[in-house]
């Protein structure tokens, strides 16, 4: 990674190697494809759906990019070590890590089980820690420099109904981001987070009905929910030379949803989105 303070044209990501956790679908897929379009070789991580990951690799290769699929549960240290080593062996190093893999469970704090809490924290918080620690060591061993980008959520800063465990895990990720920026800054590794608002992906399960989407869209300044590609651009920016002096930051990418105070009908709308609660 560069350490050049002169003004220069925005550099692409040629010769960079990126690992995108949860890169097989949704936001991770868009990030993997966009990083590859900018020239990075991309390791596309998944945990369960090998064919989805293979199809992202196929899409990247059809665009003349380089990619590989790597199965690993990010909450498992041994699996993460194998994943990072596989990327090093295939592409020669790791320059960019995107901690995108995440899970969500909709339940009131009153109904959240110990198992729900622990699984959400295992994937969303411990997974981010493990991937960061292991990838950062590879970056340092290679002489330092690198980019780590954590995919948080608007939920880390809003008191959302039925999202205590998920939101707490993303709050943990944001605090972790700031601390890692300090620990890894001396090694020229930047650590930032991107906090998406509502983005159309499978994480919503069957709760993103047209009525629920309309309710979400009404609270977004730009009038609609986001698409996975709306998150990919900021990740590419944070991975680029243009972002070399940004670290420890959380960037909200929500179409202006975070500017909106709760509407009087908020609870009624949420009841329609999560009828099981």
Ligand X SMILES: NC(=O)c1ccc[n+]([C@@H]2O[C@H](COP(=O)([O-])OP(=O)(O)OC[C@H]3O[C@@H](n4cnc5c(N)ncnc54)[C@H](OP(=O)(O)O)[C@@H]3O)[C@@H](O)[C@H]2O)c1
| CB proximity list for 47: less than 8 A, separation 6 or greater | 22, 71, 72, 73, 74, 101
Smallest gap from residue 49 Cβ to ligand X (A): 4
**Burial of 10 by CB count in 10 Å (0-12 exposed, 13-18 middle, 19+ buried)?**
exposed
Residues 192-211 that bind ligand X (CB under 6 A): 196, 198-199, 201-203
Scored b (16 or more CB within 10 A) or e, 175-198 reads ebbeebbeebeeebbbbbbbbbbb
Smaller CB separation from ligand X, 13 or 165? 165
| 41, 65, 102, 189: residue in contact with ligand X (rule CB under 6 A) | 102
Examine residue 45 and tell whether it contacts ligand X (CB under 6 A). yes
SS3 state at 239: helix
Span of 57-65, 96-104, 176-184, 260-268 interacting with ligand X by CB under 6 A: 96-104
166 is catalytic: yes
**Residue 172 β-bridge partners:** none
Smallest gap from residue 17 Cβ to ligand X (A): 18
- Sign of the CA dihedral with 193 first, then 196, 201, and 202 last: positive
Smallest gap from residue 141 Cβ to ligand X (A): 24
Examine residue 255 and tell whether it contacts ligand X (CB under 6 A). no
Q: How many CA atoms lie within 13 A of 241 on its CB side?
A: 16
| 35, 38, 41, 47: residue in contact with ligand X (rule CB under 6 A) | 47
What is the set of active-site residues?
A: 166
Given the rule CB under 6 A, which residues bind ligand X?
A: 21-22, 24-28, 45-49, 52, 73-75, 100-104, 123, 151, 153, 196, 198-199, 201-203
């Amino acid at each position: 990674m560069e350490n050049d303070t002169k003004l220069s044209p925005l550099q692409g990501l040629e010769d960079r190697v990126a690992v995108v956790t949860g890169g097989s679908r949704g936001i991770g897929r868009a990030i993997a494809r966009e990083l590859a379009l900018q020239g990075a070789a991309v390791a596309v991580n998944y945990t369960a759906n090998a064919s989805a990951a293979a199809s992202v690799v196929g899409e990247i290769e059809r665009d003349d990019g380089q990619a590989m699929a790597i199965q690993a549960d990010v909450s498992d240290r041994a699996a993460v070590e194998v994943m990072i080593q596989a990327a090093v062996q295939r592409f020669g190093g790791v320059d960019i890590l995107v901690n995108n893999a995440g899970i969500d469970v909709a339940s009131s704090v009153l109904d959240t089980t110990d198992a729900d809490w622990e699984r959400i924290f295992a994937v969303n918080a411990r997974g981010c820690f493990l991937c960061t620690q292991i990838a950062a060591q590879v970056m340092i061993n290679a002489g330092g420099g690198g980019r780590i980008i954590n995919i948080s959520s608007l939920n880390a800063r809003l008191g959302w109904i039925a999202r205590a465990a998920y939101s707490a895990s993303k709050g943990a990720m944001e605090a972790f981001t700031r601390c890692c920026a300090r620990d890894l800054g001396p090694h020229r590794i930047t650590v930032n987070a991107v906090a998406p608002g509502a983005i159309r992906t499978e994480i919503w399960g069957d709760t993103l009905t047209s009525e629920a989407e309309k309710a979400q869209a009404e609270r977004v300044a730009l009038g609609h929910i986001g698409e996975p590609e709306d998150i990919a651009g900021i990740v590419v920016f944070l991975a680029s030379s243009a972002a070399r002096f940004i670290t420890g930051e959380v960037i909200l990418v929500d179409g202006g949803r975070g500017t909106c105070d709760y509407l009087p009908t908020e609870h009624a709308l949420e009841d329609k989105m999560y009828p099981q609660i």
